Amino acid sequence: MRMSTQFGRTLRETPADVEVAGHGLLLRAGFIRQHAAGIFSLLPFGFRSQQRLESILREEMAAMGGQALEMPVVHPADLWRRTGRYDQVGPEMGRFEDRAGRDMVLAMTHEETVAELTRSEVQSWRQLPRLIYHIQTKWRDDARPRAGLIRAREFTMLDSYSLDADDEGLERQYEAHDRAYRRIFARCGLPVVGVDADVGGMGGSASREYMMLTPIGEDTVLQCDACGHAANRQVATTKRPPIAEEAALPVERVETPECTTIAALAAFLDIPAARTAKAIFLMAAVPDSAPNTRPSEAQQANADTKPDNHQSERLVLALVRGDRELAETKLAGWLGASALRPAREDEIRASGCVPGYASPVGWSPHADRLVIVDPSVAEAANLVGGANEQGVHLRNLNFGRDYDGTVVDLIAAREGDGCPDCGEPLAARRGVEVGNIFKLGTRYTEAVGARFLNREGVPQPVIMGSYGIGVGRTLQCVAEAHHDEDGLIWPISVAPFDVHLVSMRGAEDMAAAVYEALESAGIDVLWDDRDERPGVKFADADLIGVPVRLTAGKRGAKAGGVELKLRAEPESRDGLVLLEDAAQSIQRILDELYTGLEPVDPPKRAVG
């Protein structure tokens, strides 16, 4: 490509509303343009880089036996109603009516569509396992789009879906995706960490996220540097220190005026916050059929059960130690709740509790209220908790004697907690999620009736897995990970071009000859043939970030060659690349750059 014909341009200044470096560089280098919050166009440079990334995705999916297809962006709402997600998903779902008045949905993801296709196409165990995938546009009307392509409303994703006859097959495909995803990110030059994660609204029994660790991330990863364990803070567990045994003392009533917070209570009684029990009231949207105790393993995995689309709110009193925070994701996952919200004061009072002075002491059993207690409270003796009386707390509360409830891990893990695997302190780091994998089980296939006949001729629901990589998000994360103060430094695998050729005045013929030689050898070249000052051309070359730069100048042209510089190196290399050796010399350098990204075996080079 000649830059004199390029559609799009570079920018000298970063737009004022840019929050992170990679976003600003993609804008300045002419890769993307923004139309509205979270809505972007890929200009030719950006589109070429995305094509190269997609080539890597397709190669790795093909290596796993994946079959490419294409599913629609617009779905009938009735399909989402059958799985219960039409009513569970909030305003981030794009909803509209077609001209006949039928409710339609803009695709956020494609589990429902895959389940419906499976219902029509799979009838026998002989047709399993299968793996299908597509790279498709998604729409999520995010309330807070930010950071360019990292949190966009319209975006492109790789979605793959595994179909199996049994849990062992799902496990194999789940782990195969884990290996493939690590290869994909390595080939893109993107360092990621695989972390345990919440299944969230997707459902299922297990999930793993792939995080690029970076200060700009919105997620927190708890990571053990000793053994490598890592988990999203939302679901991270810890190795808890032993609780000292002590005899249960009699309950004492104590006046605590104006002590409606744990900090005020601890200061007033001159005790550590860890000696208090913090009561947190939430309203949980759960299926009407949800039990008042922990769901069974089958219910957690959504196995052989149709989703209950009818939901109601239940009052939940969660008790955690006063010095710890509640992990709402853990609580919602245990309850099977589609949403949690803080209970209003009138809802708390209607239950017989007093806001600021509440506890489950004196609560009578009730179908619409639940008491969930973290082990740090259940196993400790003689804590201070509310008396359900204005201005009064109780000393020496003990679980099992003074109140009851269901014991569940509820606390949010934090830096310094013990690793659940080895006990060493966990480190907290920020991260951006670039991919995820899920064991869905039969939630979606059972809902739409996607069943097959097993070897014994008995109908069984197909077992699904769902796997995704954010394509645009990954591309920007590569930009975040590979840049300096002058611009982007693309890994060769996702760079828009292999070589950036800069021609100076008086060396146009040499530049044209090198351009033709490289292009004839299958090497993608961006030729800056503009009538611009050298400083402008070199600044743009650094900004755009193509890995290899060749400069055709008068002195080099007289000697029959061009100057070579790698974008990742501070200085040009000694000597010239001679015209007659240009294709072979540059191909050797490109092969070295690709080899540096290969995680295991060198696959074929992705071509833009």
Three-state SS string over 64-120 comes to: CCCEECCCCCEEEHHHHHHHCHHHHCCCCCCEEECCCCCEEEECCCCHHHHHHHHHH
Domain covering 48-236+428-479 assigned CATH 3.40.50.300 in the classification: no
Residue 493: the pLDDT is 97
Residue 304: the pLDDT is 38
Residue 372 to residues 281, 312, 331, Cα–Cα distance (Å): 10, 18, 8
Residue range 252-407, CATH number: 3.90.960.10
Strands, E, within 378-515: which ranges? 383-389, 392-397, 406-407, 427-441, 451-453, 459-461, 463-470, 483-484, 487-488, 499-503
Beta bridge partners of 438: 207, 466
Residue 591: the pLDDT is 95
In the predicted model, residues of the chain with pLDDT beneath 70 are 287-311, 365, 367, 600-608
Residue 575: the pLDDT is 85
Residue 310: the pLDDT is 61
Pick the CATH number of 490-595 from 3.40.47.10, 3.40.190.10, 3.40.50.800, 3.30.420.140: 3.40.50.800
Domain boundaries, the chain: 48-236+428-479, 252-407, 490-595
Residue 600: the pLDDT is 53
Q: Which amino acid is at 356?
A: G
Residue 110: the pLDDT is 96
The residues near 512 (Cβ < 8 Å, ≥ 6 apart) are none
Residue 393: the pLDDT is 96
Give 3-state DSSP helix, strand, coil % of the chain, rounded to 5: 30, 30, 40
Residue 604: the pLDDT is 42
